């Protein structure tokens, strides 16, 4: 079986999950599910980044031991995965012993390659980014360009990694496509960073008191980013299980946000090169979720709570929203009005209505037993819908392979829209009155076939909804064994299958009238 190893970034454990974290996990989950449904053995990891200074500071503020604080916070992120139905195969906390072993081993390999040296560092450090800035990069009065908080001037003796030794090689691997960075704009950004020249970075900090000890030193800890990036090989079994590592590594896809490409597309691949390990096949950098045009951030105070949103609209609806309405790679809106609109228009009206109307008619006109197709009674309108249905897989899968979820979903909703239109155009109730039974059966068969194909295509995005639809359609599909490419062939043998209308899939959200 072909394997696919996908990872998300690991989230800082100092605060609760925000909508951006949910977004990244959901789009990664859609890919993981799609890959599983197309025959891959999928490994899928996420987790928490726990050795940041903010974590230690927050624990101290609460009077808690930092590790106990991390374990408590990690629960929120694990719960988020359950709430959003994220099909992870591993959840890593960077304070776990397996990770410490892996960091120590990788550091040893880089040191052995002669790529670690001792030096003095003087620079401006943002404790929220956990990154150094040059004076030119700071804004105003020595403020961090990302967080708008004051950067600290840090002078310390620590250890550096010779990034510059590998930048030419890395550039060639990006240019040749051997190491893929998507979307194109991010690839160009990374190439221009490399062309401008990239300075060596320190891999340790001194006197922080929180983090993995740098082997062979007294007061040095591993720099939190150097530590965090290594999570990807820890999960694959580095330093724990060679056979597993041989099978899982390299990762096929690192899904991250666009703010952390420097770490994933320059520093991380060079760490691996130095240690003689293979590079991940691809890094995909998604955009940011915005709240009414502004980036969500703790500093602005406009962060949307993903738990509240899922409780309000259902995780399936939010998953749909992320996939359909946030264009992959771009920034996208995330607020109540936008979600309600997508819910009522796409899910309640287009999809939900199509399913309930169609199944209702099969119950009413065919006693709930699906009819067969009569080729001799197909008219042009029916043939047009049949053509669209036959072409769905090609359009849908081409978009999914590019992680273009909105494009993939547009092909599905184009088909359901056409099916709804066929109902209006053919008016099955009139066909029945006129005794045109073959035509009536054709319409109903085509509707069922449209819903079947659409539900298969929707299954990586809305797995719970897909199963509900399969139950209504009397289909025995099992997510674990399903191969969507095989099943999405047009022309299912419908005759006699028991169909039932059941409950509405997405009851419309009705606005509460405001009191005058
Ligand atoms: N801990 C580091 C990542 C280490 S990976 C080896 C980190 N953590 S984070 O909690 O700040 O962000 C985690 C992920 O969420 C990142 O990929 C980041 O880009 C993403 N997002 C943070 N804010 C976001 C939005 N407003 N919208 C979408 N994603 C965003 O960085």
For 171-225, write each residue's pLDDT tens digit: 999 999 999 999 999 999 999 999 998 889 889 998 888 999 998 888 899 999 9
- What lies within 8 Å, CB to CB, of 441 at 6+ separation is 366, 371, 372, 373, 374, 377
Whats the size of the chain, residue-wise? Answer: 516
Residue 15 tokens, joined: 């605060």
Q: How far apart are CA 380 and CA 386, in angstroms?
A: 10
Ligand 1 cavity residues, CB under 6 Å = 9-12, 20-21, 23-24, 49, 228-229, 231, 256-257, 259-260, 288-289, 295-296
Return phi, psi of residue 45, to 5°: -125, 150
Model confidence pLDDT, tens digit, residues 354-400:
999 999 999 999 999 999 999 999 999 999 999 999 999 999 999 99
254 as an active site residue: the answer is no
Residues above pLDDT 70, as percent of the chain: 99
Average of per-residue pLDDT values in the chain: 95
- What lies within 8 Å, CB to CB, of 505 at 6+ separation is 347, 351, 352, 355, 356, 465, 468, 469
Q: Which of 7, 26, 46, 49 to mutate to test the pocket of ligand 1 (most atoms within 8 A of CB)?
A: 49
H helices of 127-235, in order, are 167-176, 184-196, 224-229, 231-235
70 as an active site residue: the answer is no
- Mean pLDDT along residues 301-327: 96
Residue 128's alpha-carbon distances to 19, 151, 298, in angstroms, are 18, 9, 11
425 close to 343: Cβ distance less than 8 angstroms:
no
147 as an active site residue: the answer is yes
- The whole-angstrom distance between residue 87's C-alpha and the CA centroid of its chain comes to 11
Residue 271's alpha-carbon distances to 118, 164, 200, 234, 470, in angstroms, are 17, 11, 12, 14, 47
Model confidence pLDDT, tens digit, residues 16-56:
999 999 999 999 999 999 999 999 999 999 999 999 999 99
Q: How far apart are CA 99 and CA 196, in angstroms?
A: 33
| pLDDT at residue 130 in the model | 84
In terms of phi and psi (left: phi > 0; alpha: psi -120 to 50; beta: otherwise), the region of 237 is left
Residues above pLDDT 90, as percent of the chain: 85
| pLDDT at residue 515 in the model | 53
Model confidence pLDDT, tens digit, residues 47-83:
999 999 999 999 999 999 999 999 999 999 999 999 9
Helix (H) or strand (E) holding 42: strand 40-49
Q: How buried is residue 358: exposed, middle or buried, by Cβ count under 10 Å (0-12/13-18/19+)? A: buried
Q: How far apart are CA 417 and CA 454, in angstroms?
A: 11
Q: At what angle do helices 463-472 and 437-458 cross, to 10 degrees?
A: 150
Q: Let me know the angle formed at the C-alpha of 289 by 407 and 178, rounded to the nearest 5 degrees.
A: 60
* Residue found by looking up tokens 């099992």 in the block: 478
Q: How far apart are CA 117 and CA 264, in angstroms?
A: 22
Residue owning the nearest CA to atom 30 of ligand 1: 20
Q: Is the pLDDT of residue 440 over 50?
A: yes
Exposure string for 128-141, b = 16+ CB within 10 A, e = fewer: bbbbbbeeeebeee
Q: How far apart are CA 150 and CA 142, in angstroms?
A: 6
18 as an active site residue: the answer is yes
Residue 48 tokens, joined: 């928490």
Residues 67, 162, 262, 295: which is the catalytic one? 295
pLDDT band at 418 (very low <50, low <70, confident <90, very high): very high
pLDDT band at 155 (very low <50, low <70, confident <90, very high): confident
Q: How far apart are CA 110 and CA 203, in angstroms?
A: 11
Q: Separation of 18 CA from ligand 1 center, angstroms?
A: 9
476 close to 452: Cβ distance less than 8 angstroms:
no
Cis peptide upstream of residue 336 (ω within 30 degrees of 0): no
Q: How far apart are CA 108 and CA 113, in angstroms?
A: 9
Model confidence pLDDT, tens digit, residues 251-289:
999 999 999 999 999 999 999 999 999 999 999 999 999
Q: Separation of 217 CA from ligand 1 center, angstroms?
A: 31
191 close to 150: Cβ distance less than 8 angstroms:
no
Three-class secondary structure assignment of 257-277: EHHHHHHHHHHHHHHHHHCCC
Q: Separation of 259 CA from ligand 1 center, angstroms?
A: 8
- What lies within 8 Å, CB to CB, of 213 at 6+ separation is 220, 221, 222
- The whole-angstrom distance between residue 206's C-alpha and the CA centroid of its chain comes to 35
DSSP string, 71-90: HHHHHHHHHHHHHTT---SE
H helices of 326-460, in order, are 336-342, 353-366, 380-401, 405-426, 428-433, 437-458
51 as an active site residue: the answer is no
Nearest to 473 by CA among 443, 453, 458: 453
Nearest to 230 by CA among 245, 243, 220, 217: 245
């Amino acid at each position: 079986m072909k394997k696919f190893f996908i990872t998300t970034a690991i989230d800082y454990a100092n605060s609760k999950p925000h909508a951006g974290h949910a977004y990244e996990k959901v789009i990664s989950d859609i890919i993981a599910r799609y890959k599983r449904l197309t025959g891959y053995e999928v490994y899928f990891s996420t987790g928490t980044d726990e050795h940041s200074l903010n974590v230690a500071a927050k624990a101290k503020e609460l009077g808690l031991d930092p590790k106990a604080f991390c374990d408590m916070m990690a629960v929120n992120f694990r719960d988020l995965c359950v709430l959003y139905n994220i099909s992870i195969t591993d959840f890593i906390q960077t304070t776990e012993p397996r990770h410490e072993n892996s960091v120590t081993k990788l550091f040893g390999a880089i040191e052995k390659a002669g790529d670690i040296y001792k030096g003095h560092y003087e620079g401006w450090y943002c404790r929220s980014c956990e990154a150094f800035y040059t004076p030119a990069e700071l804004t105003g009065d020595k403020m961090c360009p990302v967080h708008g908080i004051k950067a600290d001037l840090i002078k310390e003796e620590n250890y550096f990694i010779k990034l510059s030794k590998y930048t030419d090689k890395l550039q060639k691997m990006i240019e040749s496509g051997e190491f893929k960075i998507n979307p194109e704009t991010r690839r160009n950004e990374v190439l221009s960073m490399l062309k401008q020249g990239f300075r060596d970075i320190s891999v340790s900090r001194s006197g922080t008191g929180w983090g993995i000890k740098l082997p062979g030193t007294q007061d040095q800890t591993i720099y939190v980013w150097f530590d965090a990036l290594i999570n990807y090989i820890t999960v694959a079994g580095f330093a724990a299980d060679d056979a597993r590592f041989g099978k899982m590594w390299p990762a096929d896809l690192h899904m991250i946000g666009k703010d952390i490409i420097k770490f994933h597309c320059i520093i991380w691949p060079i760490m691996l090169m130095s240690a003689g390990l293979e590079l991940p096949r691809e890094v995909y950098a998604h955009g940011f979720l915005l709240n009414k045009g502004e980036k969500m951030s703790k500093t602005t105070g406009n962060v949307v709570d993903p738990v509240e949103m899922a409780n309000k609209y259902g995780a399936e609806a939010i998953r749909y929203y992320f996939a359909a309405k946030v264009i992959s790679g771009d920034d996208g809106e995330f607020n109540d009005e936008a979600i309600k609109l997508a819910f009522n228009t796409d899910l309640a009206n287009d999809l939900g209505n199509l399913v309930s109307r169609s199944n209702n008619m099969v119950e009413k006109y065919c006693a709930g037993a699906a009819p067969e197709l009569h080729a001799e009674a197909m008219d042009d309108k029916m043939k047009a819908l049949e053509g669209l249905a036959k072409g769905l897989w090609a359009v849908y899968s081409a978009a999914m392979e590019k992680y273009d979820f909105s494009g993939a979903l547009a092909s599905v909703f184009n088909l359901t829209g056409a099916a709804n239109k066929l109902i209006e155009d053919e008016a099955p109730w009139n066909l029945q009155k006129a005794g045109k039974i073959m035509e009536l059966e054709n319409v109903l068969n085509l509707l069922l076939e449209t819903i079947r194909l659409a539900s298969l295509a929707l299954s990586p995005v809305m797995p719970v909804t897909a199963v509900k639809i399969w139950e209504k359609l009397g289909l025995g599909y099992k997510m674990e064994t399903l191969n969507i490419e095989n099943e999405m062939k047009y022309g299912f043998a419908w005759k006699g299958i028991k169909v039932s209308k059941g409950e509405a899939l997405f009851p419309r959200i009705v606005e509460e009238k405001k009191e005058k």
